[in-house]
Structure 1
Amino acid sequence: MTDPIILTDIDENGVATVTINRPDVHNAFNEHVISALDNAFKSLGDNEAVRVIVITGAGKSFSAGADLNWMKAAAEFSREENIADANGLSGMLATLNFCPKPTIALVNGAAFGGGVGLVSCCDIAIAVGGAKFSLSEVKLGLTPATISPYVIAAIGERAARRYFLTAERFDGLEAKRIGLVHETAPSIEEASALVDGLVTTMLANAPEAQAEAKDLIFAVSGKEITDDLRADTARRIAERRASVEAKEGLTAFLEKRRPKWSIG
C-alpha cells in the first residue's frame, strides 16, 4: 500500500500538521493532491478540537507547484475539462485562505508556482532562509492565474509585476522583504522553533474571536470607509462583547487567571 499523499496529525493541544507527502516529486500538485488538501482543510476547519493548522512538505521541498505530468495531460483536455480542473485548484486555495482556523506555512524548502500560492493563503509564513521561491509559470508558457489573488494580496502589485514576469528565483530573505513570509531562520530546526512559539502564542487566545478577527480582515481590507462598513464593524464588536468568550476573557482578567481556552 502506498503512503498517503497528505499526512494529517492532530496533537493533544489541537495543533494540526498537514504535510504534503510526495517528496520524490518535490511535493508537486496533481488533481489527487489538490482534492486531498481541499478535504483536509475543510475537515480541519470544521473540527472544533483543532486550534491551529501548520502546513509543510515532506523531504527537502515545500512544494514545487504543479506536477508537470499532470500539466502535460491537461494540455490535451477540452476547454470544459480544463476549466473544471482549474476550478479544483482555485477551490482548494479558497478553502485554505478562508479557513476559520489560524494557519501557518512552515516553508522547509523550495516553493514554486502553486507552492507560493499555498504560502500566500496562510495567515503566517515562516521559511528557512535558504528556501527558494519562484513564480515560474511564464517559463512554461503559463500564468499564475488561480494563485494570483492570494499572491498579490501577500506581496503587492509592484513585486508581482516583477516576479510574475521574470520567473526569477529568490530566497527567504527576499520573500520576507516583499511580504511573502513573515520570518526566516537559518535551519529547519530554528524555523520549527519559531512556528512552535507562534502556536503557543495563539493557543492563549480565544478561538472563536480568532475566527471572527480573520473574517473581519476579509470584510474590511480594501474597502471604502462608508456608513455601511462602519455599521458592520460596530455590529461585529457589539455582538462579540456579548459573547461567552468575551465574558470569560474579562472575568479571567479581573480574577487574574488564565481563561478557559488558554493552553500551555
Structure 2
Amino acid sequence: MTYETIKMSIDTRGVATLMLARPQVHNAMNGVMWRELLDAVQALEADGSVRVVVLTGEGQTFCAGGDLGYQQAQGGASLDDRLDEARRFSALLHALDSLSKPLIGRINGAAYAGGFSLISVTDVAIGIDTASFAITEARLGLVPAVMLPFVVRRLGMVNARRLFLTARRFPAAEAVSYGLLHASVPPGALDAAVEDEVAHVLRCGPQALRTIKHLIAQASRHGIDVPHEHTIGQVAAMWDSAEGREGILSYFEKRKPAWTTPA
C-alpha cells in the first residue's frame, strides 16, 4: 500500500521501520496518519517475516502531537464523526501496545502531546539527548483522554500528575528518569544505540518473545493473580516446543540457534 503520511520498510533480517513522514509540520498527526499507521501496524502484525519494529520520525522532530488544524476542524463536525475520529486514535494506540513483535522507539527529536503517547506504548525507547518532551494539551484547554492510561502506566501516577497538570517541558535526561526513555544518547549515536537493541532482539526466539509480551500484558493487568495454571502451562509447552528444543540444543552445540518465524 502507498501511504501519504508515513513510510514503512522491512529489511532482510525482518526488521521493520515505521516512520512518521510529515516533517513539514513536525510529524503532527491527523486522521489520515492515524488510519495509515493503524493499517501499517496491522500489516506488520500479520507478516510472519517481521521480527521487530522500529518506530521513528522523519526530520528533526519525532512527533509534535496532534495537528491543530485537523483538531480545529473537528469542532464543526457532528458528534458521530468526532467519536469516529477519536476511536481511530484509540485503536492505533491499542494496536501498537498489543503488537506481538518487540516495538523499539527511535526517538529522533522532540515529542509532545500525542507524540508522547506513541513513546509510551513502545517496549524500548532510545532518544537523542537534545530532545525535549511535554504533555501540552492542558495549555490549550484540551484533554488528553485517549492517551492518558498508557502514559500513566508508563510514568507512574506521581510523575503523570505533575506532567499532565503542569504541561511543563523537560529534557531527555528527565525523560530517562521517569522511564519514558530507556536511554538518551548524542544524535550521532542514535542509530548505533537502536541497532544494539535490535541485535539483542534478533538473538531471541520469535515465538518466545511473542509469548513473553502476552504474559507481561497479563501481569500488568493482574499482577501475581495471573492464573497459575496458565503460567504453568506455558512452561510445560515451552519445554516441548520446537523453538525451546532448538534453543537448548544450540547452547550445548555452541552455535547460534536457527530460529524460524512464527506462522
TM-score by length of 1: 0.95
Q: 1: distance between equivalents of 2:151 and 2:191?
A: 23
Q: 1: distance between equivalents of 2:75 and 2:138?
A: 15
1:150: which partner in 2?
A: 150
2:241: which partner in 1?
A: 243
2:211: which partner in 1?
A: 212
Deviations 1:7-36 (A, max 9, x none): 111111111111111000000000100011
Q: 2: distance between equivalents of 1:89 and 1:83?
A: 10
Q: 1: distance between equivalents of 2:224 and 2:110?
A: 39
1:203: which partner in 2?
A: 202
1:102: which partner in 2?
A: 102
Q: 2: distance between equivalents of 1:162 and 1:168?
A: 8
Q: 2: distance between equivalents of 1:3 and 1:224?
A: 40
Q: Which amino acid aligns with 1:207?
A: P
Q: 2: distance between equivalents of 1:240 and 1:155?
A: 33
Q: Which amino acid aligns with 1:134?
A: A
What is the aligned-residue RMSD (CA, Å)? 1.5
1:82: which partner in 2?
A: 82
Query: Contact 1:105 / 1:125 at 8 angstroms: preserved in 2?
Result: yes
Q: 1: distance between equivalents of 2:76 and 2:239?
A: 55
Q: Which amino acid aligns with 2:73?
A: A
Give the alignment partner of residue 252 of structure 2, picking from 243, 251, 254.
254
Query: Contact 2:96 / 2:122 at 8 angstroms: preserved in 1?
Result: yes
Deviations 1:99-155 (A, max 9, x none): 001011111111011101100111000000111111001111111111111111111
Q: Secondary structure at the match of 1:39?
A: helix
Query: Contact 1:220 / 1:229 at 8 angstroms: preserved in 2?
Result: no
Count of aligned pairs: 259
Query: Contact 1:17 / 1:53 at 8 angstroms: preserved in 2?
Result: yes
Instruction: Report the CA distance between 1:70 and its aligned residue.
Output: 0.7
Q: Secondary structure at the match of 1:225?
A: helix
Instruction: Report the CA distance between 1:261 and its aligned residue.
Output: 2.0
2:46: which partner in 1?
A: 46
Instruction: Report the CA distance between 1:79 and its aligned residue.
Output: 2.1
Deviations 1:221-264 (A, max 9, x none): 242534x62222111221222211001111111111111029xx
Name structure 1 gaps, 5 residues minimum. Answer: none
Name structure 2 gaps, 5 residues minimum. Answer: none
Query: Contact 1:110 / 1:133 at 8 angstroms: preserved in 2?
Result: yes
Query: Contact 1:240 / 1:246 at 8 angstroms: preserved in 2?
Result: yes
Q: Which amino acid aligns with 1:216?
A: L
